[in-house]
Each structure stands twice: as structure tokens, then as C-alpha cells.
């Protein structure tokens, strides 16, 4: 699992607290400041979920356009980044739903990936990512959130709106599918 | 053995994460014997590395612009809580969100006004309930910032508006709601009952001496009375009135909101029509076409309603007046029958009389006198009746009529102002009485109650504005005294009137008065000030030079003129307190190059102009601004004009069509608006060569020429004692 790289250097003189206040009040300056700090991280998360650069941009766009409203539900006691990530996940999931891009595992891709050989050898990250992308949505998202964002099963369950047992079962199934797809069992 | 069967997946994950730690030795042993788990570990390791080596992926560089543009256009996605997913019961999102794009008009209207909390450098005022009803008990919580944080008690003031409030707010009295008491946690609190008549309030907080005022940076905090969970119609109408002249854009947004919430009301659409005319300019017709049918439908409804409201009848009489048709006669008759003394009846009748008898002032007076007998006294826009009559009386030199109509005008001005003194002193027979009225005006100003102090104004700033007003009255009084033969008193009064401030017209009239009184030297002193003003034509200098050389001599005249040049920065800068911008202000040019305002200045004086294509007054002033901007550029003053839009071919075409040649910058991050606290357009700011904000108001706009001249003279003579760098900040 990869802890996400969370900070982008701030470019205005607002402190984080000032930026939150300012953005909450609907001021562009505060929104721009928070964009500077978090857009890259949130974009990457949205990109992982939607598998589309354009969709990820739309997710970040919608999030920041609606940021003042979103921040009304944010309590300063918690960390802002995980909060924004949770909202990003939800918007990204809605984007997936809108696109009706519910996918099934394309056999063809899985076979091609298997042909790539054993992953113990020289790793081909692109092939691994393709295998992940080829997973059905229900299995892909737990993998993305766990490996891309370091979410616990509980956090995955909350983000996806399912029970914690279901989250774990899906994740285990996803790993098994990947193991097969990447030809490790051959 | 801890691991009897296959270890759980989480253990394998941990093993991958901390590869080879002794604590995981049992897993390593298991892996030696289990191909499946070994492959699972290989898969997890591959995943881990794949995500770690994910190629960098960044959003497009223009995404922030897109976001801010969407916000500026009013897009507000609302993420609804607990929205179910469509794919099955098990997919219900527990606290999920659905993106529903709601095109709203203004942030301020979407969220309760009290939630418009300001940044950390301002205080924060919160009202509870945030959406009050008439007569509710409201508690104000205030978290102070800056100087106000040191106080134990603070004062909460409000500009209350009732449904009959006029446009603009300088005549609306401000009330002291009560004292905010500091609590143990540093938050101030005060509970008050919202009067039944109030539908909108603009609020500000100050210390007990009104030395420091927090009015949310000129925006004021707002209270809108709500009905059925939404802002009341009258509350929105009054908010629009309150914002007139402060922020046309916000006022327009309020009108759009009104149309959204109250589409069944005729006055909603009449207001919308009016605003579209102001702010859409050439595009007004296409904007109005969108709701033309709606208006037609509502008009027919009013026509069929024998009990239609006076308000609707007023609107119809006014709407049809300009065409002077049978339709207008119909609506006017209905309104007059319902409410003979209605201000609209007074105004429209006056206009008809004035149109019919423009060439015959006596006839006009007779008819207006008859109108007064049936429709007087004047109310609201009906005051135009008195103004027309006074004009006709002056034209006819009818002193009795001047006195009669003048008396009818008394007390109708804002805060009981009496403008008749200025009129009366022009006529020998009425002069003494006029002078008395002017003295009464001076007395009124000297004892003006605190309720007349505008919201957001400190006592010091208010005193300065009163002094300016007093000087203007004293100039008229001084002239009247001279005309009355009281020469010494007249000259003394003029001397006081012109001793402070910079008012070219006042200097000119004082000079003329002194000249008529035979005081040539005194007159030349005044004229030297006129010549020091950069707006004065050079030809005046030539003619005055000749007169001065002949009377006081070349040398003395030169000394006088030099003295006047020194006076200019002293007087102009006396009340201009330097203050820093709030944070950085970065703007971009047409090619997308980013500039910090400090870079643009590079040690020069800067004039910053905020304008908008969607603001009627800004559009009107734009050619004048462009002309002055070009003049200033020639004098090495940097002009930065900032529009509220992002670059677009459409805007390029607009600038070409208007022949606007001053440099245009784009506030894509909205940093400039924040740094200057610009609220509405057009807005002008002059920064000195050290990047400090010196002037944030110019009325008329060509006053910036005087302001820039003052700053340049100071910059050229940095050690001059004649040009103080500003008194303590009177704003905050």
C-alpha cells in the first residue's frame, strides 16, 4: 500500500485555517488556496476511481465548485485531506454511475495479461494496472482504495456504502482474480 | 504454530509492507511451503509497486480557472446526503452524496446570510436563527478580530429596511440594536427581537466609541426575513435596494433569485427587466425575450383582477407610460381611482403637465398647483412635482411660488435636509431668509445624531464627511453674505470654507466671490489652487497670468502658484491613510502570463480599475476611464484594469468594438478582488509607488488625476514636510 503524497506547496499567504474559512464563505481566494493544496491529490484519487482523465477533472471541478457547501459539513477537529478524499470518492462514484460504465472482466485482456508471464520476473507495472482496470467495478474499487489510498476495510465499506464483511470479501475476491489474471497460478 | 492453515490476507499484506521483519518469520516459513500464498504475496507486491510507480497525472492547468468561472457563472453543485445508489439495495450509500448541479444565482442567497462568515482578519458574526421570521428573537454571536478583540463590550448596529424602503441606503437610518457582551470563550453575544416591520437588515459591529468598525469589509452582515423557509419576497427586494450603488452585480443576482423564487409576481419581472436593461446592455433584448411571455401572462392576470393591488397598478401605469397609449390611460385611470395620492400618480401626472407646458412656465405652475390640491403632499417619487414647480417658478421669476413650493420641499430631504436655503439666496427678496436656512443647515450638521452615521463608518470618517458638507454650505453662505453687502463676514466665511479639502469648483466660486467683492489678491489665491489642479485647462492659466501680473506682479504670482502646488498633496493626502493590500494579488494577461501586482508596479504609482461588462455604470464610465488611463500612462503611471471575466474571443471583440486600449488583466484566481476588497464595479484604487493603497474612492472619476498628482509630488519630494504620509487609519 502506498501512502498518498498529500501536500502541494501553498501559493498564497493564507494559512490552512484561513483558507477553510475563506472557502466556506464562498471566497474564490480560499477556494484557490485549497485547490493549490489538494487538487493534485484529489485528482489522482478521482483518476484512479474513474479510470478517466476527463472524468477525474470533472469530479475535481464539481467538488471545488461546490466546496463552500461541502465545507459546511467539515469540522475543524478532523484532518481536511481525508475529509475531502471521502467527498471525492463519493462524487467519483456518482460520476461512474452517471456514465453507466459498469464493466465485466474482458476475457481478452485477461488472457493477454497472462501471456506477459510471471510477475516475479521483471515487473511490468502497466500490465498490472491494466489487470486492475479490467476488474469489475465491484472488485476494482476495493483494490484501488486499499492500495492506492491505504484505506482500511472499514473505510472502504463506508466509502462504498456496504458492510465491512462485504468490503473484505470483495477485496479477497479481487486479489484472487488478479492472481489468476496475472498468471501467477500458472 | 500460529499459522495452522493459510494466513489471512491482511497478514500477507503486512508481510509485504514490512518485508522480512523477524516478527513475520512464521509467514516466511509458510510461504516456503505454500505456492498459493506465495503467489498472493507476489500479486500484492506487484500491486503495491504498480500503484507506487503510477505515472504522474495532473489536472489540466486551466482547471482552476474553469472552477472559478463556473462559480462566477452561478453553478453550485449541491451534494445531497444519503442519496441511494441505483444499483441495488446493498449499494445504499450510508452518508453518500449525489451531485446535483443547481444553477443558483449567488452564494449569498444559497446559504443563510449569517453564514457568510469572513476570513480570520475580520470578525465573524453569526445569527441564530439564521433564517428568522418576523418578530423572532434573534441572537447575534460575534467573534472579533483585530482591535475589537480587546474590548469587553461591543455595539451591534443595523440598517433596518421595511417593505417600503427606497433604493440606495444613504438615507436609511441606522439603529443601535444593542450591546454585545463578551462571554468567557471570547465570543460576544446579544439577543434582540426583530421588529415586525423589518424584512432586511445590514449589520455591523463597532466599539463603544465607534473608533473601530467591522462591517464585514463593506459588505455588512445580512439578515433576510424568511417565510416558509425561503427569503421573503420583500426581503429580497429590500436587499436589492440596499445593494444599489454598492454592488450592482450582487443586486442583479438578488433580482435573479427573486425571479427564481417568486415567478408569479409582476414586480419580480419588472425589476428583472430593469436590471437586464442596465447590466446586459446590447444583450438586454435577447435576455428579456426569455420571459416576455411570462410578463404578458401576468399582465393579463392583473387586467382581469378588479381587486389588483396598488403595487401592480403602479407597475402597469409606469410600464405603459413611455408609450403614452390608450393602454396607459387605462392603467393610470385604475391607479388614480384606487389611490389618488399615490406617488406614481403624482410623478406621472407631473410628467404629463411638464411635457404639455414646457414652453409656458406660468401655465405649468397653475396646473401643478391644481395637482397639488388633489394629489399633495408629495411622497416618494412624487417629489418630482415640487422640483418641476420650483424650476417653473424660477423660470417665471415668481418669488411667491418659489417660497410656496420651497416650503413644500422643506423636510422632505434625507434626514430632514433643507435644500431651499441654496435656492432662496439667489433672490434678493428671499436672501435673508435663505441665509437663515443655510445657517440652520450648518447647525443641523453640527448636531447630527449618531443614527445618521452610515453603517460601517467610524465617527472620525463621519465627521470628515460632515465637515466637507459644511464647507460646501459655507461657500454658498459666504457668497450670499457678500451679495448682501456683509463683505467682511462673507470673506471670512469663504476663507473657512476653502481652508481644507480639495474642491476645484469651490475654489473657483470662492475666487469669483472674492473678485466680485474687490479682493483681487484673495481671488488669485483661490485661482492659484484652481490652476494647480491637473484637470484645469491651460488656457485659463494664460488669462489669469495676465490679470495677476498686472495686479500683484509676476514674482508674487509665481510664489502663489508654487504654494498652491504644495497645498495640493497636503490637502489631498490629509485623509488618505496608507494601508496594505490583503495578501497577494496575481492577475493574468490575455496570453495567460501571470503577474503579481507588485511586479507590475515596479516602483511606480498604479491606478487599478475594476470593471465589468455586466455592470451598467461601469460600462458608461469605461470610455472615460480608458481616456484617463491613457493620459496617466503617458505620465508613467501604471494602469491596471481588471475585468471580472476570463479571457475569451467574445471579450476581445467587446474591447475592440469599444476601442478600449488600456491594458486589461484577468483576475482568474479572484485574488485581486480579495486583496482590494473590491465589492462591485466600477471601483478605482490608487496605490503609491511603495505598493500601498492610498485612495479607494473617486467621485467623479477624474479625481484620480488629482490623487495621482498628489502622490507624484510626494514621491518627488520625499523629505517634504508639506506632504504628510497620512493620518492614522480611520477605516479600522
Which ipTM did the prediction report? Answer: 0.80
- Cell 471541478 belongs to A61
Residue B663 has what pLDDT? 87
Rounded to a whole number of angstroms, the distance from the CA of A124 to the nearest CA of chain B is 8
Query: Tens of pLDDT along B240-268?
Result: 989 876 777 788 889 989 999 999 999 89
Contact A66 B77 (CB under 8 A): yes
Cα-based distances in Å from B356 to A78, B327, B340, B346, B559: 73, 19, 21, 15, 57
Using CB atoms, pick whichever of A93, A125, A179 lies closest to residue B39.
A179
- The tens digit of pLDDT for each residue in A26-38 reads 888 899 989 988 9
pLDDT-based confidence at residue B583 (cuts at 50, 70, 90): confident
CA-to-CA dists, residue B314 to A14, A84, B321, B340, angstroms:
51, 52, 11, 12
pLDDT for B183 beyond 80: yes
With an 8 Å Cβ cutoff, is A132 touching chain B? yes
Q: Which of B654, B676, B674 has its CA nearest to residue B664?
A: B654
Q: What is the dihedral of CA B102, B106, B112, B113, to 10 degrees?
A: 180
Nearest C-alpha neighbor of B338 from the set B330, B267, B382, B352: B330
pLDDT at A70: 86
Segments of B624-663 assigned E as strands: 638-643
Q: What is the pLDDT of residue A5?
A: 30
Cis peptide preceding B693, ω within 30 of 0: no
Shortest CA gap B187–chain A (Å): 17
pLDDT over 60 at B52, yes or no: yes
**Regarding beta strands B586-588 and B230-231, do their DSSP bridges make them parallel or antiparallel, or are they unpaired?**
unpaired
Which positions 24-43 of A are in contact with B (Cβ < 8 Å)?
Answer: 24-32, 35, 39-40, 43
B684 and B581 Cβ atoms separated by less than 8 Å: no
A112 CB within 8 Å of a chain B CB: no
What is the C-alpha to C-alpha distance for residues A49 and A159, in angstroms, rounded to an integer?
Answer: 12
Chain B nearest-CA distance from A125, in A, is: 5
- CA–CA gap between residue B601 and residue B108 (Å, rounded): 34
Total-model pTM = 0.59
Residue A169, pLDDT above cutoff 70? yes
Q: For residue B405, what pLDDT is reported?
A: 94
Task: Tell me the average pLDDT of chain B.
Answer: 82
Amino acid at each position: 500500500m502506498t501512502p498518498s503524497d498529500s501536500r502541494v506547496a501553498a501559493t498564497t499567504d493564507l494559512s490552512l485555517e484561513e483558507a477553510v474559512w475563506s472557502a466556506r464563505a464562498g471566497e474564490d481566494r480560499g477556494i484557490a488556496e485549497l485547490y493549490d493544496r489538494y487538487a493534485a491529490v484529489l485528482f489522482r484519487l478521482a483518476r484512479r476511481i474513474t479510470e478517466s482523465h476527463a472524468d477525474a477533472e470533472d469530479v475535481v471541478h464539481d467538488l471545488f465548485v461546490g466546496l463552500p457547501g461541502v465545507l459546511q459539513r467539515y469540522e475543524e477537529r478532523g484532518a481536511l485531506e481525508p475529509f475531502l478524499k471521502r467527498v471525492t470518492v463519493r462524487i467519483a462514484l456518482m460520476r461512474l454511475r452517471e456514465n453507466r460504465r459498469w464493466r465485466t472482466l474482458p476475457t481478452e485482456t485477461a488472457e493477454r495479461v497472462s501471456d506477459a508471464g510471471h510477475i516475479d520476473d521483471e515487473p511490468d507495472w502497466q500490465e498490472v494496472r491494466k489487470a486492475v482496470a479490467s476488474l469489475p467495478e465491484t472488485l476494482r474499487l476495493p483494490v484501488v482504495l486499499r492500495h492506492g489510498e491505504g484505506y482500511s476495510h472499514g473505510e472502504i465499506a463506508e466509502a462504498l456504502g456496504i458492510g465491512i464483511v462485504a468490503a473484505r470479501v470483495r477485496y479477497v475476491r479481487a486479489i484472487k482474480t488478479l492472481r489468476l489474471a496475472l498468471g501467477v497460478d500458472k | 504454530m500460529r499459522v495452522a492453515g493459510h494466513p489471512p490476507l491482511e497478514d500477507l499484506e503486512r508481510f509485504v509492507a514490512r518485508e522480512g521483519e523477524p516478527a513475520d518469520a512464521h509467514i516466511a516459513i509458510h510461504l516456503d511451503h505454500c505456492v498459493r500464498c506465495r503467489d498472493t504475496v507476489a500479486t500484492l507486491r506487484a500491486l503495491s509497486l504498480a500503484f507506487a510507480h503510477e505515472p504522474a497525472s495532473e489536472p489540466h492547468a486551466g482547471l482552476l480557472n474553469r472552477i472559478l468561472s463556473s462559480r462566477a457563472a452561478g453553478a453550485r453543485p449541491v451534494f445531497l446526503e444519503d442519496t441511494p445508489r441505483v444499483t441495488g439495495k446493498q449499494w445504499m450509500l450510508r452518508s453518500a452524496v449525489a451531485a446535483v448541479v443547481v444553477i443558483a444565482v449567488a452564494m449569498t442567497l444559497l446559504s443563510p446570510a449569517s453564514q457568510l462568515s469572513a476570513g480570520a482578519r475580520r470578525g465573524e458574526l453569526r445569527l441564530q436563527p439564521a433564517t428568522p421570521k418576523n418578530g423572532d428573537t434573534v441572537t447575534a454571536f460575534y467573534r472579533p478580530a483585530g482591535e475589537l478583540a480587546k474590548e469587553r463590550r461591543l455595539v451591534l448596529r443595523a440598517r433596518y429596511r421595511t417593505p417600503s424602503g427606497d433604493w440606495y441606503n444613504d438615507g436609511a437610518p441606522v439603529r443601535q440594536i444593542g450591546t454585545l457582551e463578551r462571554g468567557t470563550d471570547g465570543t460576544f453575544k446579544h439577543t434582540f427581537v426583530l421588529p415586525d416591520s423589518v424584512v432586511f437588515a445590514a449589520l455591523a459591529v463597532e466599539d463603544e466609541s465607534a473608533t473601530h468598525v467591522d462591517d464585514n469589509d463593506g459588505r455588512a452582515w445580512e439578515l433576510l426575513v424568511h417565510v416558509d423557509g425561503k427569503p421573503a419576497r420583500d426581503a429580497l427586494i429590500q436587499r436589492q435596494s440596499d445593494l444599489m450603488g454598492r454592488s450592482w452585480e450582487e443586486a442583479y443576482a438578488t433580482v435573479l433569485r427573486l425571479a427564481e423564487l417568486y415567478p408569479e409576481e409582476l414586480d419580480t419581472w419588472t425589476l428583472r427587466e430593469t436590471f437586464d436593461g442596465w447590466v446586459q446592455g446590447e444583450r438586454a433584448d435577447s435576455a428579456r425575450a426569455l420571459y416576455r411571455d411570462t410578463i404578458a401572462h401576468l399582465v393579463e392576470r392583473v387586467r382581469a383582477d378588479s381587486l389588483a393591488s396598488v403595487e401592480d397598478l403602479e407597475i402597469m401605469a409606469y410600464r405603459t407610460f413611455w408609450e403614452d397609449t390608450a393602454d396607459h390611460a387605462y392603467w393610470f385611470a385604475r391607479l388614480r381611482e384606487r389611490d389618488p395620492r399615490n406617488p406614481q400618480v403624482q410623478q406621472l401626472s407631473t410628467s404629463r403637465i411638464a411635457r404639455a407646458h414646457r414652453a409656458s412656465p406660468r401655465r405649468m405652475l397653475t396646473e401643478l398647483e391644481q395637482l397639488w390640491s388633489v394629489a399633495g403632499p408629495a411622497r416618494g417619487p412624487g417629489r418630482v412635482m415640487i422640483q418641476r414647480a420650483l424650476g417653473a417658478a424660477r423660470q417665471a421669476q415668481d418669488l411667491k411660488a418659489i417660497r410656496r413650493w420651497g416650503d413644500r420641499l422643506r423636510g422632505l430631504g434625507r434626514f430632514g435636509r433643507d435644500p431651499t436655503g441654496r435656492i432662496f439666496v439667489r433672490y434678493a427678496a428671499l436672501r435673508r431668509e435663505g441665509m437663515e436656512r443655510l445657517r440652520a443647515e450648518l447647525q443641523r450638521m453640527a448636531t447630527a445624531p449618531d443614527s445618521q452615521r452610515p453603517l460601517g463608518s467610524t465617527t472620525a470618517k463621519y465627521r470628515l464627511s460632515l465637515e466637507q458638507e459644511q464647507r460646501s454650505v459655507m461657500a454658498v453662505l459666504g457668497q450670499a453674505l457678500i451679495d448682501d453687502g456683509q463683505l467682511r463676514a462673507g470673506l471670512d466665511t469663504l476663507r473657512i470654507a476653502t481652508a481644507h479639502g480639495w474642491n476645484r469648483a469651490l475654489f473657483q466660486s470662492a475666487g469669483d466671490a472674492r473678485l466680485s467683492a474687490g479682493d483681487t489678491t484673495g481671488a488669485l489665491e483661490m485661482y492659484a489652487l484652481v490652476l494647480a489642479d491637473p484637470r484645469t485647462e491651460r488656457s485659463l492659466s494664460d488669462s489669469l497670468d495676465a490679470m495677476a501680473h498686472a495686479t500683484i506682479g509676476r514674482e508674487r504670482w509665481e510664489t502663489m502658484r508654487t504654494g498652491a502646488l504644495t497645498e495640493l498633496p497636503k490637502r489631498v493626502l490629509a485623509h488618505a491613510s496608507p494601508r496594505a493590500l490583503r495578501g497577494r494579488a496575481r492577475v493574468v494577461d490575455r496570453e495567460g502570463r501571470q503577474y503579481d501586482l507588485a511586479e507590475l508596479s515596479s516602483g511606480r504609482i498604479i491606478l487599478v480599475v475594476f470593471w465589468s461588462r455586466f455592470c451598467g455604470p461601469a460600462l458608461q464610465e469605461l470610455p472615460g476611464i480608458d481616456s484617463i488611463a491613457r493620459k496617466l500612462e503617458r505620465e508613467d503611471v501604471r494602469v491596471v484594469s481588471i475585468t471580472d471575466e476570463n479571457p475569451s474571443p467574445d471579450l476581445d471583440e467587446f474591447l475592440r468594438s469599444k476601442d478600449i486600449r488600456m491594458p486589461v488583466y484577468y483576475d482568474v484566481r479572484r485574488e485581486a478582488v480579495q486583496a482590494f476588497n473590491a465589492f462591485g464595479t466600477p471601483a478605482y484604487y490608487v496605490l503609491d509607488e511603495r505598493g500601498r493603497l492610498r485612495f479607494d474612492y473617486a467621485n467623479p472619476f477624474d479625481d484620480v488625476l488629482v490623487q495621482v498628482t498628489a502622490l507624484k509630488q510626494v514621491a518627488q519630494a520625499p523629505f517634504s514636510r508639506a506632504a504628510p504620509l497620512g493620518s492614522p487609519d480611520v477605516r479600522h
